[in-house]
Structure 1
Amino acid sequence: MEVTVHLLGEVRVAVDGSPAAGFDRRSAAQLVALLALEPARRLHRERVMAALWPDAAPEDAANALHKAAHFARRATGGADAVVLRAEMVSLFPGTSVEVDVAVFEAAARAALAEDDEAAAAAVLDRWPAELLPDEPYAAWADAPRQRIDLLRRRLLLLARRWADLVALDPTDEQAALGLAAEQLDRGDRAGALRVIARIERVLREELGIGLSPEGAALRARALDSAAPMPGRPPVVPAPRAAGLARQRLGFCRAPDGVRLAFATSGTGPPLVKVANWLSHLDHNWGSPVWSHWWRELSRDHTLVRYDERGCGLSDWDVDADSFGLEAWVRDLETVVDTLGLERFPLLGLSQGGPIAVTYAARHPERVSHLVVHGTCARALWPRASKEQKSELVALGQLLRVSWGSDAPGFRQVYDAKFLPDGPLELWRAFDQLQRRSSSPENAYRLWGAFGRLDASEAARSLDVPTLILHPRGDLVWSFDDAAELHAAIPGSRLVALDTRNHILRADEPAFAHFLQEVRAFLGT
């Protein structure tokens, strides 16, 4: 017997080429879809019940599972369509099953690997429907849905279907510029300028950034193709740090609906950098505080970065209680799942370290190497003395009242901790970066939540090759904190960097030492 399961569009099942009866119970279709999305088409019954009936009492969820399995068997015409045995729930066990999602993904990756425009168009034409359109709010479908959406966007990009891309994501500047260039090549200068004006407005209003250098150049080309006009103003350069050729922006949504911005740069195997204190994907690229990090790490890898919730190009309007370890780990899971990354090295800097450690402990099969820099196993709040807690409370209040102003305050205090040996212009750049990255309220919430991170238990259970690098004179977390983390992680290696700077400067030997150690470690 051969079974085909269709999840792109309406949920359908065919047995030996003959369509099975339709699903008259939504729960039956959901159960089949949930199992079909699993590589082995089987899940523990507790996971099935938690996914499909998360708010039901255990007895009610168990009864709902049995009913859904019964109606799934009746809809598919097979007594063994859904089998509950030994705490496991299986879909057509021991049977040859083809799931259209898996076939689509294989065909899409093949077209992308070959850089074949015609093949990309053929895949798009064969599978035009989205995944489970009748289940737009099913949390259990979020990860595969985002993964398929990203593949579809990459196919649209390869097939040069710019209008479809813009319809999917109005903030996709590369697609908008592709559409504008097509119109300009056809002689429709006015249409091209309208598209450029629209994407410029969307970028400004939605993301707070301007056109890329490529966008500014295309607008100049469109304007220059017209007859000279007296008094025409010159084209204003775009206020962007990174052009489309340097880094590509993308967006995804966490399970709680928060929009997360991510960026990829460079070529080669992936290297995923966990979000940390107050990032801004575009501004960071051009900032002297961080730019040398991203350029160097993009030389040998496809570097993946993302802005944490409440910061940068990600959503700022988020619930106060969503700042915490669990939400930050889910955000990391969302980004790597959206990009379809199966196994990769993970980089955690500063407050990103405990998040990276926790993720690696929970997903050791996906993390090939773990690199952490300037971090700790436990943040300060839980182990602070009474005097230290008083100082932290005062520093938090200083953050709230001085953020966004030019008056000395929290940012200047943090400058001296993060870059004690930095010149004044680097302190100013760090000030600007922090103010550009987040609001005073979000900065305060993030600062407080970071101070309560605890990955000590995850560190002790970690079974991933781990490299710990730490400035010997770090004023944010002491070298003793790094030694404690090293002692907790079995088989880890600790490297001391001869600097006091928490964020390594481009011109100091410690940064070259950092790169040398990381490249050697990732090459093993």
Structure 2
Amino acid sequence: MPTFTALDGTELAYHVAGAGEPLLCLPGGPMRASVYLGDLGGLSSHRRLVMLDLRGTGDSGIPADPATYRCDRQVADVEALRDHLGLDRVDVLAHSAGGDLAILYAARHPERVRTLTLVTARARALGVDFTEEHRREAAGLRAAEPWFETARLALDAVLAGTATDADWDAAAPLFYGRWDAAAQAHAASDVEQSNEEAADVYASAGAFDPVAARAAISALDAPVLVLAGEWDGGPLPRVAATVADMFPRAELAVQAGAGHFPWLDDPVRFVQTVTTFLSRHTRG
């Protein structure tokens, strides 16, 4: 398992899958170990996935200062990894809460980003996020599912801040396009793979300056893919479209029948969408 040292001395780990040109992958959660990304539905057959374990997660070390879990302070870790890999420019893929980190990285180091792929990604860094109404709207799309009523009641508890562990488990199907054995195993591993202390700090006060970030990415020359799930509430496809409109060179893709983890819901479609985008913008 390869490692490198962050500027503050924290030893950080990353995992590599596949061969070919590197694709730097930033996990969400927030602060969930990168193992949950798997091989991104087989994307490792096309690119060398370099999956960073954010500080305090997975095989990475715990920092001396917990304040460094804040999203904006982890931008330096991404830049340190790029430098460690010896790459002048990088293709970056980010999932969920990792979208905030990727956006801040692109805003701070635009000359280092060749392409940016945002997968069902949050964009609090740009002042855009999902709401309770968005979550309920997306949940309503699943009304025909046999588990829907139980999941809907559990979601109400989650949104009210009164959820028990059982409520979180019952709401889990709403985050997946297919609630099959693979999705159930994936959901069951969430707690053990996540650093809850770090997650509480990740988006804490001061992490985001949307006005400055929007100004910075308005001049970003890198092509951007914003990939949304048809049934995902965080973000809804129309909210993802709003995010895409903030970038000068962005395109939106909505994966049919997908939730928050589109590489699990339809691996073939997911890989095709991402590889088509990357090949179109990284030839030569």
Pairwise same-fold verdict (TM > 0.5): yes
Indicate how the Cα distance of structure 1 residues 382 and 394 shifts in structure 2: closer, same or farther if over 3 A, else same: farther
The one of 421, 426, 432 aligned to 2:183: 426
The one-letter code sitting in structure 2 at the alignment partner of 1:408 is A
The one-letter code sitting in structure 1 at the alignment partner of 2:231 is G
Aligned: 1:469 with 2:223: no
Residues 264, 304 of structure 1: 8 Å contact kept = yes
Which residue number corresponds to residue 520 of structure 1?
A: 276
Alpha-carbon distance in 1 for matches of 2:230, 2:133: 25
Instruction: Give aligned-pair identity as a percent.
Output: 28
* Secondary structure of the corresponding residue to residue 408 of structure 1: helix
CA drift of 1:330 comes to 0.9
Which residue number corresponds to residue 437 of structure 1?
A: 193
Alpha-carbon distance in 2 for matches of 1:412, 1:330: 37
Indicate how the Cα distance of structure 1 residues 378 and 438 shifts in structure 2: closer, same or farther if over 3 A, else same: closer
Which residue number corresponds to residue 297 of structure 1?
A: 43
* Secondary structure of the corresponding residue to residue 263 of structure 1: strand
Which residue number corresponds to residue 14 of structure 2?
A: 262
Which residue number corresponds to residue 101 of structure 2?
A: 355
Which residue number corresponds to residue 115 of structure 2?
A: 369
Aligned: 1:341 with 2:87: yes
* Secondary structure of the corresponding residue to residue 254 of structure 2: strand
Alpha-carbon distance in 1 for matches of 2:204, 2:80: 20
The one of 230, 233, 237 aligned to 1:479: 237
The one-letter code sitting in structure 1 at the alignment partner of 2:78 is L
Residues 27, 96 of structure 2: 8 Å contact kept = no
Indicate how the Cα distance of structure 1 residues 309 and 426 shifts in structure 2: closer, same or farther if over 3 A, else same: same
The one of 32, 56, 61 aligned to 1:315: 61
CA drift of 1:505 comes to 4.8
Deviations 1:105-131 (A, max 9, x none): xxxxxxxxxxxxxxxxxxxxxxxxxxx
The structure whose Rg is larger is: 1
Pairs aligned (count): 254
* Secondary structure of the corresponding residue to residue 467 of structure 1: strand
Residues 354, 377 of structure 1: 8 Å contact kept = yes
Alpha-carbon distance in 2 for matches of 1:360, 1:488: 13
Alpha-carbon distance in 1 for matches of 2:228, 2:69: 26
TM-score by length of 2: 0.75
Provide the aligned C-alpha RMSD in A. 3.3
CA drift of 1:470 comes to 0.8
Alpha-carbon distance in 2 for matches of 1:291, 1:462: 30
The one-letter code sitting in structure 1 at the alignment partner of 2:248 is P
The one-letter code sitting in structure 2 at the alignment partner of 1:429 is H
Deviations 1:88-146 (A, max 9, x none): xxxxxxxxxxxxxxxxxxxxxxxxxxxxxxxxxxxxxxxxxxxxxxxxxxxxxxxxxxx
CA drift of 1:386 comes to 10
TM-score by length of 1: 0.43
Indicate how the Cα distance of structure 1 residues 456 and 512 shifts in structure 2: closer, same or farther if over 3 A, else same: farther
Q: Which has the higher contact order (CA 8 A, sep 6+)?
A: 2
Stretches of structure 1 lacking an aligned partner (at least 5 in a row): 1-248
Indicate how the Cα distance of structure 1 residues 449 and 437 shifts in structure 2: closer, same or farther if over 3 A, else same: farther
Deviations 1:258-279 (A, max 9, x none): 2211122222111111232243
Indicate how the Cα distance of structure 1 residues 456 and 255 shifts in structure 2: closer, same or farther if over 3 A, else same: same
Stretches of structure 2 lacking an aligned partner (at least 5 in a row): 135-156
The one-letter code sitting in structure 2 at the alignment partner of 1:513 is R
Indicate how the Cα distance of structure 1 residues 386 and 291 shifts in structure 2: closer, same or farther if over 3 A, else same: closer
